């Protein structure tokens, strides 16, 4: 799988960290926030492209974007809002919802342990991920 880099990203409207559109040949191209919105407005279920959007700001994500542009199961928004961060994968309608955790460890115990969580929703043509903190095990 190869990707073409986008020179600049214009994620000023919402906290898009990375976005990619993949063709049927597996070639990905990086997209910005405006292109992602346009992609959802133009594409229908019979198109062959696949989009992956990764966000870094959970509260802003829940305030409306991309939930107003992307048809996601209500269970994904509920999963993002709930306090439980237990690692799991659930099947909801035609989607998989995963919650993955990573522990930032300090063997000398100089600092408090931090748990970083990654939430993922995978549908037929869209993968959406959001994180609370950077994960060490998923780069």
Three-class SS string for 72-115? CCHHHHHHHHCCCCCCEEEEECCEEEEEEEEEECCCCCCCCCEE
pLDDT-flagged residues of the chain (< 70): 1-14, 44-46, 59-69, 83, 105-107, 109, 134-139
Residue 19 within a domain = yes
- Asked whether residue 120 is domain-assigned, the answer is yes
Q: Has residue 26 been placed in a domain?
A: yes
Provide the number of structural domains found in the chain: 1
CATH number reported for the structural domain that contains residue 99 in this entry: 3.30.460.20
Which domain range does residue 123 map to?
2-131
Residue 136 lies in a domain: no
With respect to residue 66, please indicate whether it lies within any of the assigned structural domains. yes
Give the integer Cα–Cα distance in Å for 88 and 6: 33
pLDDT at residue 122 in the model: 95
Q: Please report whether residue 139 resides in a domain.
A: no
Q: Is residue 55 in some structural domain?
A: yes
> Does residue 137 lie in a domain region?
no
């Amino acid at each position: 799988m190869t990707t073409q880099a986008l020179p600049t990203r214009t994620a000023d409207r919402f906290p898009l960290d990375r976005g990619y559109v993949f063709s049927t040949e597996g070639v990905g191209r990086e997209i910005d926030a405006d292109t992602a919105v346009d992609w959802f407005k133009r594409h229908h279920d019979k198109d062959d492209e696949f989009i992956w959007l990764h966000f870094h700001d959970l509260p802003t994500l829940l305030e409306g974007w991309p939930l107003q542009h992307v048809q996601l199961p209500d269970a994904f928004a509920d999963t993002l809002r709930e306090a439980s961060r237990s690692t799991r994968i659930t099947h909801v309608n035609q989607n998989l919802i995963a919650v993955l955790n990573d522990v930032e460890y300090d063997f000398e115990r100089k600092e408090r342990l931090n748990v970083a969580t990654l939430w993922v929703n995978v549908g037929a043509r869209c993968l959406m991920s959001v994180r609370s903190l950077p994960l060490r095990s998923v780069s």
